[in-house]
Structure 1
Amino acid sequence: MDMKEILDATGLLCPLPVLKARKRLQSLAVGDRLEMRADDPAAVIDVPHFCAESGHQLVETREEASGVQVYLIEKR
């Protein structure tokens, strides 16, 4: 069964959310998922770009009522 890690990157500014996601994804197996929470306005651009460049799949993006964006990234 694939596992899901959670990364809370709220309060961090570009490029820290993506750098932390990259580091966390390195320790995961292919098919595992990382749920990252971020409130940096640049993350809406940075995270999809990071996934496209690194080959990971951005499975879901949503915004919570609190304004925090949640990204579900599957390691490829």
Structure 2
Amino acid sequence: MHFDRELDVKGLNCPLPILRTKKALSEMSPGEVLHVLATDPGSVKDFQAFARQTGNELLSGADLNQALPTAIFEFYLKRK
């Protein structure tokens, strides 16, 4: 998927992935897409709630490495 900016928040736990995502989105233009990589298992629900509460669109969320000891979660958010 095409994205305009990437944010790596692997190794960070709640609430840091959301806070860094919020900051990154605030620096982007409406319609631009942010690609986020995270390792916090709670980030799946956190990003869903974040999108609902802020109006930014969660285009995709997936677990990239289900077989590895540490899962990597990938999210694409479109700035409102």
**Residues 60-75 of structure 1 mapped to structure 2, 5 A cutoff:** 60-65=60-65, 66=68, 67-75=71-79
Which SS does the other structure have where 1:46 is aligned?
A: helix
Q: Percent identity?
A: 28
Q: Which runs of 5+ in 2 are unaligned?
A: none
Report the equivalent of 1:11: 11
Match of 2:56, as an amino acid? H
Which SS does the other structure have where 1:36 is aligned?
A: strand
Q: Which runs of 5+ in 1 are unaligned?
A: none
Match of 2:77, as an amino acid? I
TM-score by length of 1: 0.93
CA displacement at 1:68 relative to structure 2: 0.2
**Residues 1-76 of structure 1 mapped to structure 2, 5 A cutoff:** 4-65=4-65, 66=68, 67-76=71-80
CA displacement at 1:44 relative to structure 2: 0.8
Q: How many residues matched? A: 75
What are the superposed Cα offsets for residues 2-56 of structure 1, whole Å, 9 maximum, x if unpaired? 9511000000000000000000000100000000000101101111101110000
Task: Answer whether contact 2:58 2:75 (CA < 8 A) is retained.
Answer: yes
